[in-house]
Structure 1
Amino acid sequence: MFQMSFSTFRERWELFIGAILSVGVGVALVQASMLVLAATGEPQIPPGTSRQAEDKIREGFVAAATVMGMTAFLAMFLAVFIVSSTFSFTVAQRRRDLALLRLTGGSRTQLRALLLSESLLLGVVGSALGVPFGLIAKYAQTRLLVEIGLLPEGFTAPWALWAVVVSGIIGVCVALAGVFTASLRAAKILPLEALRETGKAAEVMTVSRWFFGLSFAFCTISMVMWAQGANLIGAMMAALGISMFGAVAMSMLSPLVVPFTAWLFGVLVPGSTLVGLAQANLRDGVRRSAATASPLIVLVALLLGLAGTFGSLSAAGGEEAKRSVNAHLVVSSTGEEAERLAGIEGVAVASRQNAVDITITTEKTQNKRVIKRNFYSGIVAVDAADYARTHTLPPARGDLAALAGNTVFTGPARNADRIAPGQVLPAEAGGQPLQLTVVGGYPETLEMGDSFLVPRQALPRQVWAGAPTETVVQVAQGQDPDAVAERIEKAGFSQVQTVSQWAIARAENAQDGNVKILTVLMGLAGLYALMAVVNSVVIAGSERRREFAVSRVTGMTQPQVVRVAVVEAIGVAVIGLVLGCVVAGAGLVGIGGAVHKAIGTTVVFIPWTLLAIVAMGSVGIVAVTSAVTAAIATKDRPVSLVTTKE
């Protein structure tokens, strides 16, 4: 069997090279993600780092570990999906060869063994290629994480043999899993049906395809409905599941859309002979069109789905911030400078929020062990009365009026820590020890929010005087906010914003961070899926030499044949784009419902710019790849190909 597998590889290498590269890139991404993930377990803190900067670095390591875990998961999903669809298409292209093998005495078991041995060989070769690719992918992922600020400069992820072994095993398992279903289907088809393209061999929507397509569609719809009432973390996870499950469902059911697309081509461009031929090719090559569209569906669903999810959360965070402030202006300054705001004409309330550099220590018991954690950032000094007048978010526990003296209020960022009122938290402010009693806490919000609120009078003046400060200004009744803003600027304050401008800026900053994370999460994975699109187009075109030759001997020129292939490929690309957008839209419906539950209004972000780039890029790449493949496939004399017996 292995000898036959080697012979098949030599003779039909163009069918396998794409699957080998798919396994190799999948192994590389998984290997790199595991190495970086393992290295983030021990934060590398540069010497001389301030306490707040150290806190930020540790949070960045946690975020990087989360991103790398998701990247490894996506890489494995893409590897299984792409290798499975690629190998299924490859087996379908070799149906006649396999039928002849059966007619010469080969059994179904031997046929399955042949295909599985080919996949084993494919997995071993692909995994071997993935090891050096993994070093490149590790460097690329590390640089991306450093560039977006999650990891510090100088971060390194040491090479480890265990990651190579684990990713290699995953690569072989992915290859075997990818061909398993295709081998079962190939063995069930009768040899004569395969030779004549009749019976089960002519079926595209098989029982298994219907079953898996409808099952994944049902799971996708269920996740969309569940996300409507879930919290935001659950909705984010559901959005990822919707993108993956929906992409699989649409890929399985895509043959149902091909005939409609062929009809639509005829309606939109009537009277064109070349388009009519492309339309006929779409109707006749449903399996080929579906296999080519599948990786594009995954690419569009994941990119647009995740971008829309992150963008919606950022926009909702800005809307929530705007609604949580009962004021007109927000002024940025130092704590000392902010003291002058209350005396400016037209200012009714000036709620100063000093981001102070102090330490608060929390303790909790876990598995009979006392775990201490120091917080240096996200601690804000406020005047409780002014804060209550300018902020509308109600506390989840306690009363803000109790925030006086040596007390502390837990912010939205610490809601999940369940720090109960009455607990005493040790603190250090300007070298002075403090004992702060917890008197209440705020609920979780869309944004991370502050960690702790402390009374300004409990802190030495030098602690908050030079601290970065945002002052929320409520304008006196009858005063024009624009006129008050102008007076504040003339008083020497350079950064004065309306609450709407301030909220929009917060949303844009959050979106910038999300875009950076999305770049790491989907950058290499997106290139991986795009490579699969190119591979599918190449396989589909390279196996149509005789079909192209028949078109040429009937009177078509080589440029005309190439144009027909390009038009057909564009139609397939449109199918993939539309179905991928349907999946991404389903994810937005889910996240929109979760946002509505959280803040009382539906906020949805549609990434139009990314959609335009993906659409034009995908169509362009598919068209160019199809043109090059068709040109190569038609370079031989057509008569020699037409008269060749298959």
Structure 2
Amino acid sequence: MLRMSISGLAERWQLFVGATLSVCLGVALVQSSLLLLISAATLDPPAGLSPAERLRFSDSAEASVALLGVTLGFSAFLAVFIISSTFAFTVAQRRRDLALLRLVGGGRRHVRRLLMGEALLLGLIGTVTGVPAGLAVMALQTRLLVGFGFVPGGFTGQWRDWILGASAGVGLGLALAGVLVAARRAARVRPLDALRDPDAGRVMTAGRWLTGLFFAAGAVALIILAPVGGPAGGQALTMNVSLCAAVALSLLAPVLVPGVARLIPAAGVTGMLARANLRDEVRRSAATAAPLIVLIGVVFGQVGASASFAAAGVAEQRRGTAADLVVETTGPGFPAVAGVASFSSETETPLRITTGRGDTADTLIQSALVVEPAAFARAHPGSGYLQALRGNAVAGGPGREGFSRGDTVTAHFAGTDHSLPVVAEVPTTIGGGAALLVPAGLLPADQLAGAPTRTFVTLAPGADPARVTAELSTVGTVTGVDDWLRADAEARTSTSDDIMLIVLGLGGLYALIGVVNAVVIAAAARGREFAAARATGLTRLQVLRAALLESSAVTMIGVFLGALAAAGTYVAVLATTSAVTGTATLDLPWTLMAVLAVVAFVVTGLTSLLTSWSATRVAPVSLLGAWE
């Protein structure tokens, strides 16, 4: 069987190039992400850092670990999804060959062993090429981590010898897992049925129905739970809706793609031929649309949710801020300026805070905001009753985690630990913020001397804004409150946006490769189909045009179904922002989404033209005669 597996790979290598490349990239991404994840998680901060620098280092290290963890999981998911769909389509294209094997005496176990042998060989090739490719990917990921500020300059991933065993396990595991279901299904097909109709067989099996409906139910459950998850939990749940919905729609694609295809108008002979192929060649159309659905669904959903939550955060802060100007300085203190009715100075500083007790104790460096309670309440309407915020008492800030009013936290400052009762709390916000509100006078002056301070200024009635702005400009940087809120929101979400950009960039490239792979596999087995079309009177140009129209229609359907998956995320966004902020917010980056859709059409169109042109180079009589 191993010899037959080798011969099968050699004779039909065009069908397996994409699968091998998918395994190679899967091994490279998993290997690189795993090595960098361990290196980042064990990275020690340099000696001599100030508390503020240590906070920034800690935040960056946590962000890098989160980024690499998400990349690792997303890469593994895409690898399994793309490789399994590729193998399933490849096996379906070889139903006639497998039927002949059964007729000459091969049993079901021989078919399974043949396909598993091919998968083993592909896994070995993918692993051998993926290990060195992983070094190149690790260099690229390291440059991205350093360039986006997640790790300090000079950071490098540390090589570990055991990664060779892990990479081999990943490569072989991905290949074998990808072919396992397809091999079992191929072995159950009756050989005479496959010979009578090489494309026979149910595309929608009971397992596929159950899995697709399971993921669809998961997407619905996430939409229902997101509004009650709070600011942080709601956003996390929302981000996963499009992933579940995209997987569900891709599994149900054999039913959905022909149904949507019937709605597409067809003009002329080539248009009718393209629509007929979409309707009749269900397996091919679904296999091509599936990676597109995942790509469009995940990217549209993630970028739309991220932009919407950022816009909701800005709107929420604006409703909770009563000021005209924001002055940015360092250290506490603000001078009296004519024309200023009131102001609230808020100095931000890092604190090492311990929450919980005993085994549940958790110590983190978090952000604290030094405020004057009455002024803070005037500048931020709805912040609640803060009169008890005095002495050594503190209040929970808008970004608190792990404690609430009535608890006691331990903060380290002035060289010792201090037990601070939490006597109040302001509402949590979708945009986050400081974990603690600290009354002025609690922290030592030397700790606040160089700390960033923002002062929300309300102008007196009749005051000249230009004159007041000019006078305040001698103190610090003056910005209109709306402009400052937008810049602050961008700064708060910059880390998560960078993480999303890197993850979706790598994942999107991987998914596009899956799309190209599906188009190439489909065209590789269409030589006789194209020859029959030309023998009936169609010119080569008409055949190419029909193939391009079919590819464009599949892309259109894939984009539509992917956008439908993303729409589930948008429903969760509207419900979550309404529950958290009181106002439903949806802000979509239409330009980015349009560019991605155009790229999908260009990539699938060019791939279809090139593969169809290659498949129609041979004279149709030769192909038809060879088949007979």
Which TM class, normalised by the smaller chain length? over 0.9
* Offset at residue 523 of structure 1 (A): 1.7
Q: Partners of 2:454 and 2:466 in 1: how far apart?
A: 15
**Change in CA separation of 1:237 and 1:453 when aligned onto 2, cut-off 3 Å:** closer
Distance 1:421 1:211, change over 3 A: closer
For residue 549 of structure 2, what is the aligned residue in structure 1?
Answer: 567
Matched residue type, 2:293: I
Partner of 1:450: 434
1:607-646 paired onto structure 2 within 5 Å: 607-645=589-627
Tell me if structure 2 keeps the 8 A contact 1:311–1:514.
Answer: no
Offset, 1:237: 3.7
8 Å CA contact retained: 2:524, 2:611: yes
Relative to 1, partners in 2 of residues 1:538 and 1:278: Cα closer, same or farther, differing over 3 Å? same
CA distance in 2 between partners of 1:138 and 1:221 (Å)? 37
% same residue: 41
- 2:337 is the counterpart of 1:343: yes
Q: Is the 8 A contact 1:99 1:194 kept in 2?
A: yes
Aligned residue number for residue 388 of structure 2: 402
Deviation (angstroms), 1:48: 5.1
Q: Structure 2: how far apart are the matches of 1:616 and 1:162?
A: 42
Which stretch shows the higher mean deviation, 620-629 or 283-292?
Answer: 283-292
After the TM superposition, which of the residue ranges 14-23 and 155-164 deviates more from structure 2?
A: 155-164
The answer for the alignment partner of 2:66 in structure 1 is: 66
C-alpha separation between the residues in 1 aligned to 2:150 and 2:238? 23
Q: Kindly report which structure 2 residues correspond to 1:113-192, keeping only aligned pairs within 5 A, or say none.
A: 113-192=113-192
Residue 307, structure 1, aligned to residue 299, structure 2: no
Give the AA of the match of 1:438. Answer: P
1:496 matches 2:492: no
Residue 41 of structure 2 aligns to a residue whose secondary structure is coil
Q: In the TM superposition, what whole-angstrom CA distance separates every residue of 1:301-347 from its partner, at most 9, and x where no partner exists?
A: 111122122222222221222122123332223447x622x4321x2
Q: Give the counterpart letter for 2:264 in structure 1.
A: F
Structure 2 letter corresponding to 1:388:
A
The residue type equivalent to 2:132 in the other structure is: P
Measure how far apart 1:599 and its partner are: 1.4
TM-superposition CA deviations, 1:241-294 (whole Å, max 9, x none): 32332222111211223334433332xx53x22212212222221210110111
Alignment: residue pair count: 626
Pair 1:355 & 2:354 matched: no
Q: Which runs of 4+ in 1 moved over 6 A?
A: none
Match of 2:395, as an amino acid? F
The 1:307/1:80 distance shift into structure 2, 3 A limit, reads same
Q: Match of 2:103, as an amino acid?
A: L
1:531/1:384 Cα in 2 relative to 1: closer, same or farther (>3 Å)?
A: same
Identify which range, 490-499 or 383-392, moves more after superposition.
490-499
1:229 equivalenced with 2:228 (yes/no): yes
Question: Using the alignment, how far apart are the partners of 1:519 and 1:344 within structure 2?
Answer: 46
**One-letter code aligned to 1:278:** A
Instruction: For 1:597 and 1:537, locate their aligned partners in 2 and report how far apart those are by CA, in whole Å.
Output: 44
Contact preservation (8 Å) 2:289, 2:554: yes
1:170-211, Cα deviation, whole Å (9 max, x unpaired) = 22222222112111221222111111128x924333333333
Alpha-carbon distance in 2 for matches of 1:62, 1:19? 34
1:547 is displaced (CA, Å) by: 1.1
State the partner residue of 1:529.
511
Partner of residue 283 from structure 1, selected from 267, 279, 301: 279
**1:599-614 alignment, distance < 5 Å:** 599-614=581-596
Instruction: State the 1:366 CA deviation.
Output: 4.1
Amino acid paired to 1:238: L
Structure 1, gaps ≥5 residues long: none
Aligned to 1:411: 397
Q: Tell which deviates more after alignment, 318-327 or 72-81.
A: 318-327
Secondary structure in structure 1 of the residue aligned to 2:200: helix
Please name the residue that 1:329 is paired with.
Answer: 325
Partner of 1:487: 468
Quick one: distance in 2 between partners of 1:564 and 1:571? 10
- The 1:383–1:286 alpha-carbon spacing in structure 2 relative to 1, beyond 3 Å, is same
Counterparts of residues 218-297 of structure 1 (less than 5 Å)? 218-266=217-265, 269-270=266-267, 272-297=268-293
Helix, strand or coil at the partner of 1:380: strand
| Amino acid in the other structure paired with 2:200 | A
What are the residue-to-residue correspondences of 1:420-569 with 2, within 5 Å? 421=407, 425-428=411-414, 435=418, 437-442=420-425, 443-458=427-442, 464=448, 466-476=450-460, 478-479=461-462, 483-484=464-465, 486-493=467-474, 495-569=477-551
Take 1:490 and 1:611, find their aligned partners in 2: how far apart are those partners?
44
The alpha-carbon deviation at position 554 of structure 1 amounts to 2.5
CA contact (8 A) 1:83 1:174 kept: yes
Aligned to 2:15: 15
Unaligned runs of 5+ in 2: none
TM-score scaled by structure 2? 0.93
Whether contact under 8 Å (1:120, 1:176) holds in the other structure is yes
In angstroms, what is the RMSD of aligned CA positions? 2.6
Asked if 1 retains the 8 angstrom alpha-carbon contact of 2:348 and 2:369, the reply is: yes
* Partners of 1:176 and 1:325 in 2: CA distance: 58
Letter in 1 for 2:513: M
Tell me which amino acid in the other structure corresponds to 1:105.
Answer: G
- Any idea what SS the aligned residue of 1:350 has? strand
Cα distance in structure 1, aligned partners of 2:206 and 2:17:
29
- Does the residue aligned with 1:400 lie in a helix, a strand or coil? coil
CA contact (8 A) 2:99 2:191 kept: yes
**Deviates most, 159-168 or 246-255:** 159-168
TM-superposed deviation, 1:214:
2.3
User: 1:586 and 1:162, CA in 2 relative to 1: closer, same or farther beyond 3 A?
Assistant: same
Deviates more, 1:246-255 or 1:13-22: 246-255
Query: 8 Å contact 1:382–1:453 — kept in the other structure?
Result: yes
